[in-house]
């Protein structure tokens, strides 16, 4: 085969083959993991420390702003962080402005973490869930002024009857807000939380977002409006290590490595074919 | 008179509501606070209806496709069935009911999760076909991309942290200030558009227009 | 061990049909896609009605007559699809637009402009790096400034051009992050297929 023929062949690898290599590579390493060690990044440790340093009985407001689309990445991170919150003696208020938020709560908190049996926690005393509200940023803005605006939790129990809500009237009674968000500018985005809570009222805020959202949220982190910012991908594995709850985050670490290596190899192959065929760099 | 009822009065309502909320923020008064709270609580309720408006559009659209026997009209029948099933089970029995949760876990959850995950196939294909060092600008784009990709590879970072450190430096000292500049520009645009909307110069939200409006 | 739960099998069916589009468009993908759209809308209606019940109707039952007004305004929004009385929906939309714009205008200046500009002009611990990041932010802003065309004329157009190249670096880095997100989402679905359906992965 001539050199030119080889590079022509190299440039025409069928996409089906690429997809098959990707799928087989990922499946293989998921079934037979390598188990290489991972390092905990400074950012993940920052979020961990901000929860760890909260005094007992502190109030943490957790916002579920993801649905099925973000669950593979944010689900493991959410689970790991919630494990941490339940390991401490804190009051956790879970809320959602996402239509799929209640389902994420059911799947991840009720059915997976099972706080009552795993941590001896009591609903209504140690944590509560407001349920879904369709108000979007309007609800978020109003909650800062009146935490009882929704009046009942998702079981229609009046908030006044929940011990966990005792003394929680407005933003001054919330010690930390953690939002798990897939939204860059839509409902319940980190930008909304920064605009409605963190900036005007200086409430400490942590954001766990999709890795690809890090650039758009990082300006808030740089100014200190957001105190901790971690991506779901990668950081979920690190957080699972910190709270000693290995789960999907750690399980996907090797597969992430294989996926990235395949992408790098494909870029290199594509460029070898391009330059081998005589392609140049246009100025 | 007709234009006043159909167009002018809604524009005035938007203006008054927006101005009240802005003034309530910058000039706190008891009256302003009470009115502002009332407006915000109203917004929470009205938003619920806005979410439901989408289903009416879907029903009208798909019923029209079925009645006119347009291409793939059979899928429209299926769509109407699925929407109706979700509503018929979810509304009377609640989204917490076993049957509704079963439907969500079997249908919506896997579809939603896979829809966004399948894009990774295209990223893999694009890495091979499109990401080439064919110009100075593409080199400037691709080198940080490769550094970040390598820095996000746990197998590599567990052995050597150089890519992670370099990627972190790029993110902190270049990406963050760049997105700060973009954020400031977008915020100025948001303010300008918001003011134009309140003043009635942006009327896209009015929707369909008649002649003379 | 392979799962015998019908729910898992249905979920697996939809997972595979969505992935099949990567190979080629096919009727099963169309079926899955339409199912997704319908399910999203159906679910949104269910949640919207529940939110309305919890926040609107319960309050009216408790005696707060005021909440009838926003409910009536909300109902007007549903008129948008009527051929003759579509304009009634503008009343509900006007309230929503006014509230949304009002909430944005009052908080965006401080959160997105003042705070960001303050950070941009703060040199920090390393003055040289501080100057570099400040220049980065301002050259990017200049790149998008079209009010005065002179900014983009030589010789001063070097600054917007520098901004453009810095943006390329930033977007390249952002793409690197996007790869990780998308791959992670795919891996999540593969974990479901391998662990929950086929039982090939440990717990």
Q: pLDDT of C51-63, one tens digit each?
A: 888 888 888 888 8
**pLDDT tens per residue across span B22-48:** 999 999 899 988 999 999 989 989 988
Q: Which residues of B touch C105 (CB under 8 A)?
A: 18, 22, 191, 194-195, 198
pLDDT band (50, 70, 90) for residue C203: low
Which residue in the block uniquely carries the two structure tokens 């670096």? C169
Question: Residue B104 in contact with residue A101, Cβ under 8 Å?
Answer: no
- Give the pLDDT of residue A38: 87
- Give the pLDDT of residue A225: 95
Distance separating alpha carbons of residues A261 and C60, to the nearest angstrom: 59
- pLDDT of A124 > 70? The answer is yes
Binding partners of B (≥3 Cβ pairs within 8 A): A, C
Give the number of B-C residue pairs with CB atoms closer than 8 Å.
394
- Give the pLDDT of residue C154: 78
**Minimum Cα–Cα distance from C106: chain B residue:** B22
Distance separating alpha carbons of residues A172 and A223, to the nearest angstrom: 21
Helix ranges (DSSP H) in B152-209? 154-157, 162-170, 176-198
Question: Residue A219 in contact with residue A199, Cβ under 8 Å?
Answer: no
Judge: C52–A141 Cβ closer than 8 Å, yes or no. Answer: no
**pLDDT tens per residue across span C33-52:** 999 999 999 999 999 999 88
ipTM of predicted assembly, 2 dp? 0.90
**pLDDT tens per residue across span A150-185:** 889 999 899 999 999 999 999 999 999 999 999 877
Number of helices (H) and strands (E) in chain C: give both, helices first.
8, 0
Task: Select from A138, A218, A234 the Cβ nearest to the Cβ of B171.
Answer: A218
Binding partners of C (≥3 Cβ pairs within 8 A): A, B
Question: Residue C179 in contact with residue B123, Cβ under 8 Å?
Answer: yes
Distance separating alpha carbons of residues C11 and B187, to the nearest angstrom: 41
- Give the pLDDT of residue B213: 67
Phi, psi of A203 (to 5 degrees): -80, 130
- Give the pLDDT of residue A86: 97
pLDDT band (50, 70, 90) for residue B1: low
User: In the predicted model, what is the mean pLDDT of chain A?
Assistant: 93
Judge: B116–C185 Cβ closer than 8 Å, yes or no. Answer: yes
Q: Which residues of B touch A260 (CB under 8 A)?
A: 149-150, 152-153
Task: Select from C44, C99, C191 the Cβ nearest to the Cβ of A30.
Answer: C191
Distance separating alpha carbons of residues B49 and C48, to the nearest angstrom: 7
Segment (H or E) for A258: helix A253-276
pLDDT band (50, 70, 90) for residue A1: low
Using CB atoms and an 8 Å cut-off, which of residues 64-83 of chain C contact chain B? 66-67, 69-71, 73-75, 77-78, 80-81
Judge: A219–B183 Cβ closer than 8 Å, yes or no. Answer: yes
Domains and CATH numbers, chain A: 3-32+254-276 (no CATH), 42-246 (3.40.50.10160)
Averaged pLDDT, A62-77 = 95
Judge: A68–B108 Cβ closer than 8 Å, yes or no. Answer: yes
Length of chain B: 213
Distance separating alpha carbons of residues B114 and B116, to the nearest angstrom: 5
- pLDDT of A212 > 80? The answer is yes
For residues B43, B46, B50, B53, the Cα torsion angle rounded to the nearest 10 degrees is 180
Q: Which residues of A touch B34 (CB under 8 A)?
A: none
Q: Which residues of B touch A261 (CB under 8 A)?
A: 153, 155
Question: Residue B43 in contact with residue C101, Cβ under 8 Å?
Answer: no
Burial A99-131 (b: 16+ CB within 10 A, else e): bbbbbbbbbbbeeebebeeebebebbebbbbbb
Binding partners of A (≥3 Cβ pairs within 8 A): B, C
Output DSSP code: residue A68: T
The domain ranges of chain B are 2-118, 120-189
pLDDT band (50, 70, 90) for residue A4: low
Output DSSP code: residue A226: S
Judge: C52–B45 Cβ closer than 8 Å, yes or no. Answer: yes
DSSP symbols for B98-109:
HHHHHHIIIIIH
Judged by a CB distance cut-off of 8 A, whether residue C92 touches chain B is yes
Question: Residue A101 in contact with residue A64, Cβ under 8 Å?
Answer: yes
pLDDT band (50, 70, 90) for residue A88: very high
pLDDT band (50, 70, 90) for residue A278: confident
Task: Select from C59, C115, C190 the Cβ nearest to the Cβ of A223.
Answer: C115
pLDDT band (50, 70, 90) for residue A207: very high
- Give the pLDDT of residue B52: 80
Judge: C110–A30 Cβ closer than 8 Å, yes or no. Answer: no
Q: Which of C166, C104, C123 shows the shortest CA–CA distance to C141?
A: C166
- Give the pLDDT of residue A141: 92
**Minimum Cα–Cα distance from C54: chain B residue:** B45
pLDDT band (50, 70, 90) for residue A250: very high
Percentage with pLDDT > 90 across chain C = 70
Percentage with pLDDT > 70 across chain B = 99
- Give the pLDDT of residue B67: 92
- Give the pLDDT of residue A185: 73
Question: Residue C44 in contact with residue A100, Cβ under 8 Å?
Answer: no
Q: Which of B44, A190, B19, B182 shows the shortest CA–CA distance to C106?
A: B19
> At A131, is the secondary structure helix, strand, or coil?
strand
pLDDT band (50, 70, 90) for residue C149: confident
For the entire predicted model, the pTM comes to: 0.93
Q: Which residues of C touch B107 (CB under 8 A)?
A: 10-11, 14, 35, 39
**pLDDT tens per residue across span B65-113:** 999 998 889 999 999 999 999 999 999 999 999 999 999 999 999 999 9
Segment (H or E) for A208: strand A205-209
Task: Find the farthest-apart pair of alpha carbons in chain C and give their distance in angstroms, rounded.
Answer: 71
- Give the pLDDT of residue C58: 82
pLDDT band (50, 70, 90) for residue A3: low
Using CB atoms and an 8 Å cut-off, which of residues 101-160 of chain A contact chain B? 102-103, 106-107, 133-136, 138-139, 141-142, 145-146, 149, 154
**pLDDT tens per residue across span A13-54:** 898 999 999 999 999 999 998 888 888 999 999 999 999 999
Question: Residue B47 in contact with residue C93, Cβ under 8 Å?
Answer: no
């Amino acid at each position: 085969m001539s050199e030119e023929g080889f590079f022509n062949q190299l440039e025409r690898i069928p996409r089906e083959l690429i997809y098959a290599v990707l799928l087989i590579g990922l499946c293989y390493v998921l079934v037979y993991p390598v188990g290489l060690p991972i390092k905990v990044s400074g950012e993940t440790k920052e979020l961990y420390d901000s929860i760890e340093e909260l005094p007992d009985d502190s109030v943490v407001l957790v916002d579920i702003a993801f649905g099925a689309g973000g669950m593979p990445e944010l689900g493991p991170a959410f689970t790991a962080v919630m494990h941490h919150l339940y390991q401490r003696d804190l009051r956790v208020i879970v809320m959602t402005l996402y239509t799929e938020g209640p389902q994420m709560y059911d799947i991840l908190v009720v059915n997976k973490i099972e706080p009552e049996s795993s941590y001896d926690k009591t609903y209504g005393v140690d944590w509560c869930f407001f349920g879904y509200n369709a108000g979007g940023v309007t609800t978020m803005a109003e909650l800062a002024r009146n935490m009882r605006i929704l009046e009942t939790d998702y079981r229609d129990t009046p908030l006044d009857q929940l011990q966990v809500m005792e003394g929680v009237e407005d933003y001054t009674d919330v010690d930390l807000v953690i939002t798990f968000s897939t939204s860059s500018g839509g409902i319940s985005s980190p930008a909304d939380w920064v605009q409605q809570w963190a900036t005007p009222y200086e409430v400490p805020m942590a954001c766990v977002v999709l890795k690809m959202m890090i650039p758009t949220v990082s300006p808030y982190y740089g100014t200190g409006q957001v105190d901790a910012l971690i991506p779901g991908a990668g950081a979920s594995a690190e957080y699972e290590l910190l709270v000693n709850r290995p789960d999907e985050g750690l399980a996907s670490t090797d597969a992430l490595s294989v996926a990235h290596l395949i992408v790098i190899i494909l870029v290199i192959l594509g460029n070898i074919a391009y330059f081998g065929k005589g392609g140049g760099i246009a100025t | 008179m007709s234009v006043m009822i159909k167009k002018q009065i809604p524009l005035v309502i938007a203006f008054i509501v927006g101005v009240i909320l802005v003034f309530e923020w910058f000039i706190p008064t008891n009256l302003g606070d009470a009115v502002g709270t009332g407006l915000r609580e109203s917004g929470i309720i009205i938003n619920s209806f806005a979410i439901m408006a989408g289903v009416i559009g879907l029903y009208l659209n798909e019923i029209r496709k079925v009645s006119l026997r347009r291409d793939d009209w059979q899928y429209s029948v299926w769509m109407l069935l699925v929407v109706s099933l979700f509503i018929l089970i979810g509304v009377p029995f609640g989204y917490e009911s076993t049957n509704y949760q079963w439907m969500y876990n079997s249908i919506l959850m896997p579809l939603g999760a896979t829809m966004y995950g399948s894009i990774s196939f295209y990223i893999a294909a694009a890495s091979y076909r499109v990401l080439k060092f064919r110009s100075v600008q593409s080199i400037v784009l691709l080198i940080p991309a490769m550094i970040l990709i390598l820095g996000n590879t746990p197998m590599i970072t567990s052995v050597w942290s150089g890519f992670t450190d370099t990627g972190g430096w790029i993110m902190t000292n270049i990406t963050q200030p760049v997105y700060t500049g973009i954020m400031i520009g977008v915020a100025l645009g948001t303010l300008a558009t918001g003011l134009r909307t309140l003043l009635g110069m942006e009327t896209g939200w009015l929707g369909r227009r008649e002649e003379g409006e | 061990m392979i799962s015998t739960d019908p729910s898992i099998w249905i979920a697996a069916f939809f997972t595979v049909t969505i992935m099949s589009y990567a190979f080629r468009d096919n009727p099963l993908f169309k079926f899955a896609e339409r199912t997704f759209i319908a399910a999203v809308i159906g679910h949104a209606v269910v949640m919207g009605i529940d939110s309305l019940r919890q926040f609107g109707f319960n309050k009216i039952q408790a005696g707060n007559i005021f909440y009838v007004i926003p409910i009536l305004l909300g109902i007007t929004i549903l008129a948008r699809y009527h051929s003759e009385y579509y304009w009634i929906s503008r009343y509900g939309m006007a309230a929503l637009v006014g509230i949304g714009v009002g909430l944005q205008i009052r908080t965006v200046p401080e959160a997105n402009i003042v705070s960001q500009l303050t950070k941009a002009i703060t040199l920090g611990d390393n003055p040289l790096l501080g100057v570099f990041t400040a220049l980065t932010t301002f050259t990017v802003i200049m790149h998008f400034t079209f009010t005065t065309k002179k900014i983009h004329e030589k010789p001063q157009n070097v600054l917007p051009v520098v901004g453009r190249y810095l943006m390329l670096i930033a977007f390249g880095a952002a793409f690197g992050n996007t790869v990780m997100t998308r791959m992670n989402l795919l891996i999540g679905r593969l974990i479901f297929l391998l662990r929950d359906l086929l039982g090939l992965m440990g717990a």
